[in-house]
Structure 1
Amino acid sequence: MKKKTFEFPSAFTVLFVILIIVAGLTYMIPAGKFSKLSYDTATNEFIITDHNDETISEPPTEEVLRKYNINLPLEKFTKGTIKKPMAIPGSYTKIKQHPQGILNIVKAPILGIMESVDIIIFVLIIGGIIGVINKIGAFDAGINALSKKTEGREFLLILFVFILIAIGGTTFGMSEETIAFYPILMPIFLVNGFDAMTCVAAISLGSTIGTMFSTVNPFSVVIASNAAGISFTEGIQFRIITLLLASVITILYIYQYIKKIRKDPAKSLIHDQEKEIRNKFLSNFDKSSKVEFTTRKKLCLVAFTLAFPIMIYGVSVLQWWFGEMSALFLSVAIIIMFLSGLSEKEAVSSFIGGAKELTGVALTVGLARSINIIMDNGLISDTLLYYSSQLVANINSSAFALVQLGIFSVLGFFIQSSSGLAVLSMPIMAPLADTAGVSREIIINAYNWGQGLMSFIAPTGLVLVFLEMVGVTFDKWLKFVMPLFGIMAAFSAVMLIINTLI
């Protein structure tokens, strides 16, 4: 009898195990809350919410901010720079434990799907468009034409994708938006001789490096700087240098991996899945066949391609989010249906079939969100922040910076929202920088780089979503990325120490 070999569990199982572990933490970590201050634009007043969720109103004045130990200009609130409730320093209070039991665990994925419906709709619409384009063979024809033009210059494809996405990450936080790129770029990478891991690396690491080493990202470095009471331009030159160095290191890391598997394809971390992945993305593709790249097919691909710069402009300039992005791609889907030449029934069936292919990805998004729901309902996030702030009190500058990096890495694992972590932590952590004798700029970098480190590996983020999309298991991603994770952790630590000395 053949002995069964161990197979790493699916994304769903990994997330559910983490969900149970986090629920267990709500029994062990004391529940607690900081009082929060927020500005109500409708009534022009501050709303103070205490640990019992009782609220009082205060006039919007500098004196009120000083009363609650928030040393920020009033205009940061009245002009809408800081929109989310801000933790009030010194207000942490332990409260009655809120353990999350079996019923909470079972309900959490349902609530996670409900709260993630905007992302889920976006994913399903992308899948639908791909279904229609695949039905008419436009991808196969386009990839065939592209592969002939890129022959001998394949690595430029990786550079282009990585740099483009890293720029998006560092300027406006391109992260969730990259979900749309995987099904489009994967066939192109495969046809150009790369394995699926290389495509995942170019997209995911481009986004991770860009957002981790943000320069002007309004959802991380800008909001964190505002919450810390400094301008986001402080230290921007140093952040640009760090971003460039980190990008070079990452590109070299990807290049070394490609070089290794070009010499010996069996060294690909997903060599055993190569046939399965190629069947998934290139089932109808034959490089030697004479696939006609008709005007109709070209128009469909042009319509689809144009949606991406429009999306990037909308998100970065017009403050679009998933509602607007989904509306954009749904409009493109309708246009492509008309251009495709398919009958109404064929077009709709292809769209539904394509959306069905990404149902697993959509459900993974909801399950990942359920972990944050358990933490929020267990009321342990504020406790983790409080204990972290106690840990760094009264230590010297270099040690302070390194401990902060570690703290924000841990917090970033549990709190995936960059803006949420910023407004929660900065009022507490920023004043500690003053006592340690370092610039508050150090706190911003420690926050950015610490949370960014978790983006490489945290299952609570997007990692399992894009792995589910391409069919790569989490263990293989960890084998690929953990050496780079260690390099980036050491690099961040060195740059933080240099930052404290200049």
Structure 2
Amino acid sequence: MMSSTKKFKFPTAFTILFAILIIAVGLTWIVPAGSYSKLTYNNTTQQFVVKTYQQDDKFLPATQESLENLNIKIKLNNFLEGTIKKPIAIPGTYQQVEQQPKGIKDITLSMVEGTIEAADVMVFIFVLGGMIGVINRTGSFNAGLTALAKRTKGREFFIVFCVSVLMLIGGTTCGIEEEAVAFYPILAPIFIALGYDAIVCVGAIFLASSMGTAFSTINPFSVVIASNAAGIQFTEGMGFRFLGLVLGGISVITYLYWYCKRVKADPTFSFCYEEREEFNQRYLKNFQTDDKTELVFTKKRKVILTLFCIAFPIMVWGVMAGGWWFPQMASSFLAITILIMFISRLSEEDVLNAFTAGASDLVGVSLIIGLARGVNLVLDEGMISDTILNYTSNIVAGMPSSVFILAQLVIFIFLGLFVPSSSGLAVLSMPIMAPLADAVGIPRHIVVSAYNWGQYAMLFLAPTGLVLVTLQMLHIPFNKWVKFVMPMIGMLLLIGSILLVVQVSLYA
């Protein structure tokens, strides 16, 4: 007689986000609505604009004196040069406003509106999938992987090491996040073919880049904009952040080495062992062939893979130096795909079918991004984010310096769940949180470090961030990821807490 009990299967990313969306709607009924007045710079009129809930906009001259009068300790050039573009919360202006509860209709409406808002990211992902589909059709990945597997036999971890180091550098310098999704479809089959599992791919890319971003040194999207919003130079505290980067990087690489070694010796140790057949079918289907001629790494295929590899440094350069964003990145990938089409000499029909099939593989990933944006829209339109910020800032006011900074770390972990954008949380929280450091006699750059380390400890797990997008792309259950990443979250918080207390003690 067969047992009627079924093994529990952890919910998919869609179900998790849908549940969180319902919770967010519920919070708009429970948490009091509130709002800070926000300051923006109008580049056309060259004036400051103060927006207050249900009041007419106020226009102020764009001068340092105007900022001082608003108790905003930010240099004027940060607004004039476009370093700070998002609205700045004005200290001391919080007010409770009329409740803005969301209803049942807002659940599905926010899903649609969030998807529309994420259209630029989704197009980028579709083009990426299409490009990979075309390259797969040429047999270049197939042949390249075979050649790579032969050359790295016995030292497979070297590839994981190199990818991790590059991601750490990318995270600390330019905060590579959404752009990293471009690496998963190609690196996942490589890591699996080398004897590892898909979660190693997430570790080498997402975990390493996030650890690098947590310990940002010159990342313009987190530590630079947070320092500017706090009214200080981003170079302040860089020595401690660099030390944290070294310690965090060593922790990640050591952890990945331990895990890879265990999986290599015993595949059943893999956190994703139950999903191995699905992984192999999904990621190695293009590399399993009985036709040996398909595995020849010809000059044409080398050229195609070289063009594919060139696409990524071009993308990074464009983001860092060229002011690119997702439309420009998608455009560059599309241009390289067209070039590959001519080099491969595939027929128009073959290219179109391959591109469409590759893009369709990432439809689910794109919809996850839209759903996550929908959660953020509910929280913003429900006007509860400012209330949470005001409440948490009142909690830490007046605490002893060591307790204060550790409490700040905890608060930024909490705020990271509600505001997953690093730049968004920086401009919202720093004008409020940074002045609190003055009252306890510590430099503001320590609060910037607490913001960076706390928020990213949450973003390793936050469903409203990129983690569910990543896991959906590689079909890794969320609970398996939590089991894998918790030691690194603990290490990040341990390193961060020690460095924060040491910095505070130096100024006590």
Task: Give the TM-score of the pair, scaled to structure 1.
Answer: 0.98
Q: In the alignment, which of 475, 483, 494 is matched to residue 479 of structure 1?
A: 483
CA distance in 1, matches of 2:65, 2:286: 68
Q: Verify: 1:71 aligned to 2:73, yes or no.
A: yes
Give the corresponding residue for 1:382: 386
Deviations 1:197-232 (A, max 9, x none): 111111111111111110000111011111111100
Superposition deviation, residue 70 in structure 1:
1.3
User: Are the aligned partners of 1:69 and 1:89 in contact in 2 as well (CA < 8 Å)?
Assistant: yes
CA distance in 1, matches of 2:368, 2:80: 38
Would the alpha carbon gap of residues 53 and 422 (structure 1) be closer, same or farther in structure 2, given more than 3 Å must change? farther
Deviations 1:440-487 (A, max 9, x none): 011100000011111211111011101111111111111111122122
Q: Once structures 1 and 2 are overlaid, which stretch shifts more, 288-297 or 467-476?
A: 288-297
Q: Secondary structure at the match of 2:17?
A: helix
User: Are the aligned partners of 1:100 and 1:378 in contact in 2 as well (CA < 8 Å)?
Assistant: yes
Once superposed, which parts of structure 1, at least 4 consecutive aligned residues long, lie more than 6 Å away? none
Q: Once structures 1 and 2 are overlaid, which stretch shifts more, 184-193 or 294-303?
A: 294-303
CA distance in 2, matches of 1:420, 1:267: 39
Matched letter for residue 477 of structure 1: W
User: Are the aligned partners of 2:37 and 2:53 in contact in 1 as well (CA < 8 Å)?
Assistant: yes
Superposition deviation, residue 288 in structure 1:
8.6
User: Are the aligned partners of 2:247 and 2:495 in contact in 1 as well (CA < 8 Å)?
Assistant: no
Give the corresponding residue for 1:345: 349
Q: In the alignment, which of 432, 436, 441 is matched to residue 432 of structure 1?
A: 436
Superposition deviation, residue 53 in structure 1:
5.1
Query: In percent, how many aligned pairs have the same letter?
Result: 50
CA distance in 2, matches of 1:57, 1:348: 53
CA distance in 2, matches of 1:303, 1:183: 16
Give the corresponding residue for 2:310: 306
Q: Once structures 1 and 2 are overlaid, which stretch shifts more, 397-406 or 330-339?
A: 330-339
Q: Once structures 1 and 2 are overlaid, which stretch shifts more, 259-268 or 11-20?
A: 259-268
Superposition deviation, residue 287 in structure 1:
8.6
Give the corresponding residue for 1:144: 146
Superposition deviation, residue 81 in structure 1:
2.6
Q: Once structures 1 and 2 are overlaid, which stretch shifts more, 245-254 or 55-64?
A: 55-64
CA distance in 1, matches of 2:142, 2:74: 56
Q: How does 1:82-481 map to 2 (within 5 A)?
A: 82-286=84-288, 290=292, 291-481=295-485
CA distance in 1, matches of 2:74, 2:176: 28
Q: How does 1:482-493 map to 2 (within 5 A)?
A: 482-493=486-497
Q: Once structures 1 and 2 are overlaid, which stretch shifts more, 314-323 or 281-290?
A: 281-290
Matched letter for residue 357 of structure 1: D
User: Are the aligned partners of 1:398 and 1:497 in contact in 2 as well (CA < 8 Å)?
Assistant: yes
CA distance in 2, matches of 1:187, 1:61: 55
User: Are the aligned partners of 2:75 and 2:228 in contact in 1 as well (CA < 8 Å)?
Assistant: no
Superposition deviation, residue 74 in structure 1:
2.4
Q: Secondary structure at the match of 2:41?
A: strand
Would the alpha carbon gap of residues 135 and 288 (structure 1) be closer, same or farther in structure 2, given more than 3 Å must change? closer
CA distance in 1, matches of 2:263, 2:337: 37
Q: Secondary structure at the match of 1:122?
A: helix
Give the corresponding residue for 1:37: 39
How many residues are paired up? Answer: 502
Q: Once structures 1 and 2 are overlaid, which stretch shifts more, 483-492 or 329-338?
A: 483-492
CA distance in 2, matches of 1:274, 1:126: 25
Q: Once structures 1 and 2 are overlaid, which stretch shifts more, 60-69 or 138-147?
A: 60-69
User: Are the aligned partners of 1:372 and 1:415 in contact in 2 as well (CA < 8 Å)?
Assistant: yes
CA distance in 2, matches of 1:284, 1:82: 46
Superposition deviation, residue 18 in structure 1:
0.7
Superposition deviation, residue 79 in structure 1:
2.7
- Please list every run of 5 or more consecutive structure 1 residues that lacks an aligned counterpart in the other structure: none
User: Are the aligned partners of 1:222 and 1:232 in contact in 2 as well (CA < 8 Å)?
Assistant: yes
User: Are the aligned partners of 2:28 and 2:384 in contact in 1 as well (CA < 8 Å)?
Assistant: yes
Q: Secondary structure at the match of 1:284?
A: helix
CA distance in 1, matches of 2:494, 2:235: 25
Alignment RMSD: 1.3
Q: Secondary structure at the match of 1:47?
A: strand
CA distance in 2, matches of 1:43, 1:284: 56
Task: Give the TM-score of the pair, scaled to structure 2.
Answer: 0.97
User: Are the aligned partners of 2:127 and 2:334 in contact in 1 as well (CA < 8 Å)?
Assistant: yes
CA distance in 2, matches of 1:350, 1:454: 38
User: Are the aligned partners of 1:219 and 1:418 in contact in 2 as well (CA < 8 Å)?
Assistant: yes
CA distance in 2, matches of 1:295, 1:486: 47
User: Are the aligned partners of 2:157 and 2:260 in contact in 1 as well (CA < 8 Å)?
Assistant: no
Q: Once structures 1 and 2 are overlaid, which stretch shifts more, 465-474 or 285-294?
A: 285-294
Matched letter for residue 45 of structure 2: T
Matched letter for residue 381 of structure 1: S
Deviations 1:359-392 (A, max 9, x none): 1111111111111011011100101110011011
CA distance in 1, matches of 2:217, 2:289: 42
Superposition deviation, residue 237 in structure 1:
1.2
User: Are the aligned partners of 1:303 and 1:332 in contact in 2 as well (CA < 8 Å)?
Assistant: yes
